[in-house]
């Protein structure tokens, strides 16, 4: 017996699409025709399209969030035996736009791996033709020690950023009181703030409390003295834990007691005073405790935490790949995150539109919300406790322990 012949109807959706497609194609043709006719009739009236358009710099600057910037070392100068000031310039002449207090990420291929380290700009933001970073030797620090020992003038570096919210934007009409508390290389963002803000804010008062071991360890010693000379708006207090004979500054480690004592010496400060703290972790904890016990509003305390990645406890070693879904608006990218990859690396590799800047857990540009799944982050990082409670993670230092779905805010 012959099989029955059945007519298969076209699926409704296909039919609908066909019906829709015809008028769309026609509409396009009609639009084209109208435009062509407008050109012809315009021509008879003696009109034609404008021959020239004005352009105002639409080329994107070479610095962007998606690619490293290729910069040249213009000069290297030792400020102390262990600290090197590196002045960088862009071979294209593009300026370095940053807000005082922000940092750049140096991306360095070293011994077969790509290492990333954050260094604050230590120069004034008003001379953007170059930017200066200041790097201090760290026991066991691969990148810092490479830079201090081996980086030469004329060498090239790859840079990301600027990043970070630990900033003081210069504002000539501002009339404010700032207290900067720095330990060791934590002086670098403070130096940029001082140099950028003091000359343009004639009404602003700044105090710097700066802790070091010995006199020879003070970075920017001469530059700070010059800034302070004859400038009543800038109060400079050095605190040395190992002061030389005849030292007339403060002595001691910047622990809670010393910091409290030094703060008390400043007398009554306006309630609007903002406090900026950057240095080794114990010093920062002590400063926070001292400020809180003086009744300073936590909102007025700004902290910049840098940790040395080689000392950072790694999120526990993973051995398996996990599925990863990145939602960005209506678009969903589905991929796999390998055991050696961060969520950011896997997402970008799959073409997801994820933002990033420092790639070190220091700026929160890559913040994503975990919709489902278990994620482990390298600590410490800059995520606030509110952000953690809301389910955010930093994709650049986050790894997947289970299948993960994240949402780009």
Partner 1 sequence: MFDASKLTNLLPLKMRSQTDAYLEALGVFLEIRDPRVLASLAPSGVRGLLLKRGKQGIPTQIKCSHTAYFDWTYPNDHPEMRELYTRAKAGQWDGATYLPWKTDVDPENPNTLILPQSFLGVERLEDYNVRLDDKEKHALTNSVATWMLSQFLHGEQGALFAAAQVTEAVQFFDGKLYGATQVIDEGRHIEVFHRYLDEKLNKLYQVNDNLFVIIDALISDSRWDMKFLGMQIMVEGLALGAFGTLYKLTKEPLLKVLLKMVIQDEARHVHYGVLALRDHINKELDESERREREDWAFEVSLLMRNRFMLYEVYEEWFEGRMPRDKWREFVTNSPGMREFRQVMFSRLVPNLRAIGLMTPRILPHYERVGLMQYFGGDAADKLSGEQLISDLDRAA
Residues that bind partner 1 (CB under 8 A): 35-36, 39-40, 43-44, 46-59, 62, 70, 91-94
Residue 192 CA to its chain's centroid (Å):
15
Residues 6+ apart with CB under 8 A from 380: 305, 307, 312, 361
Between 9 and 60, CB nearer to partner 1: 60
Q: Give whichever of 17 and 35 is closer to partner 1, judged by the CB atom.
A: 35
What is the rounded distance in angstroms from the CA atom of residue 81 to the CA atom of residue 219? 10
CA distance 310 to 299: 31
Closest separation in Å from C-beta 87 to partner 1:
16
- Tell me how crowded residue 9 is: count the other CB atoms within 10 A of its CB: 8
Contact between residue 397 and residue 361 where contact means Cβ atoms under 8 Å apart: yes
Nearest to partner 1 of 44, 329 (CB atom): 44
Are the C-beta atoms of residues 294 and 374 closer than 8 Å to each other? no
Element of type H or E holding 40: helix 12-44
* Shortest reach from residue 130's CB to partner 1, in Å: 12
Nearer to partner 1, 3 or 93 (CB): 93
Report the length, in residues, of the chain. 409
The structure tokens listed for 166 are: 């630990």
**Taking a C-beta distance cutoff of 8 angstroms, is the pair 320, 224 a contact?**
no
Give the Cα separation of 278 and 192 in Å (integer).
13
Query: Which is closer to partner 1, CB of 95 or CB of 252?
Result: 95
Whichever of 42 and 391 has its CB closer to partner 1, that residue is 42
Cβ closest to partner 1, residue 56 vs residue 150: 56
For the bound state, the minimum distance from the C-beta of residue 62 to partner 1, rounded and expressed in Å, comes to 5
Least distance (Å) from partner 1 to the CB of residue 85? 23
CB of 349 to partner 1, least distance (A): 22
C-beta of 157: minimal distance to partner 1 in Å?
13
Q: How far is the CB of 53 from partner 1 (least distance, A)?
A: 5
Query: Closest approach of Cβ 154 to partner 1, in Å?
Result: 14
Q: CA geometry: angle at 118 spanning 346 and 152, to 5°?
A: 115
Instruction: Tell which residue, 273, 242, 277, has the closest CA to residue 256.
Output: 277
CA-CA-CA-CA torsion for 147, 150, 152, 156, nearest 10 degrees? -60
Q: Which is nearer to partner 1, 19 or 67 (CB)?
A: 67
């Amino acid at each position: 017996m012959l099989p029955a012949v059945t007519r298969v109807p076209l699926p409704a959706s296909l039919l609908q699409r066909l019906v829709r497609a015809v008028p769309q194609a026609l509409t396009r043709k009609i639009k084209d025709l109208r435009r062509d006719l407008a050109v012809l009739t315009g021509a008879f009236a003696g009109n034609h399209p404008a021959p020239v358009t004005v352009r105002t710099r639409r080329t994107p600057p070479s610095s962007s969030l998606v690619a490293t910037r290729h910069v040249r070392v213009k000069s290297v100068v030792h400020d102390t035996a262990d600290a090197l000031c590196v002045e960088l310039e862009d071979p294209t002449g593009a300026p370095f736009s940053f807000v005082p207090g922000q940092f750049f990420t140096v991306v360095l291929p070293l011994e077969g791996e790509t290492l990333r380290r954050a260094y604050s700009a230590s120069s004034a933001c008003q001379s953007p033709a170059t930017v200066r970073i200041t790097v201090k030797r760290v026991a066991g620090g691969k990148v810092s020690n490479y830079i201090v020992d081996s980086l030469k003038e004329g060498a090239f570096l790859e840079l990301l950023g600027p990043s970070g919210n630990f900033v003081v934007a210069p504002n000539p009409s501002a009339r404010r009181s700032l207290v900067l508390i720095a330990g060791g290389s934590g002086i670098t963002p403070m130096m940029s703030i001082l140099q950028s803000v003091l000359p343009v804010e004639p009404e602003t008062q700044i105090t710097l409390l700066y802790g070091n071991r010995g006199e020879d360890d003070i970075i920017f010693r001469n530059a700070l003295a010059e800034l302070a000379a004859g400038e009543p708006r800038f109060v400079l207090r050095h605190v040395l834990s190992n002061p030389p004979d005849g030292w007339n500054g403060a002595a001691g480690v910047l622990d809670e007691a010393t910091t409290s004592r030094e703060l008390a010496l400043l007398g009554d400060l306006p309630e609007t005073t903002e406090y900026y703290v950057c240095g080794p972790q114990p010093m920062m904890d002590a400063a926070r405790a001292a400020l809180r016990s003086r009744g300073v509003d936590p909102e007025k305390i700004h902290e910049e935490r840098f940790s040395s990645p080689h000392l950072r406890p790694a999120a526990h070693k993973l051995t398996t790949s996990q599925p990863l879904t990145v939602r960005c608006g209506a678009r969903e990218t589905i991929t796999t995150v390998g055991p050696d990859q961060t969520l950011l690396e896997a997402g970008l590799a799959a073409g997801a539109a994820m933002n990033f800047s420092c790639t070190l857990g220091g700026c929160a540009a890559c913040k994503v919300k975990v919709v489902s799944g278990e994620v482990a982050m390298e600590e410490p990082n800059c995520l606030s406790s509110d952000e953690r409670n809301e389910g955010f993670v930093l994709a650049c230092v986050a790894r997947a322990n289970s299948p993960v779905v994240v949402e780009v805010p």
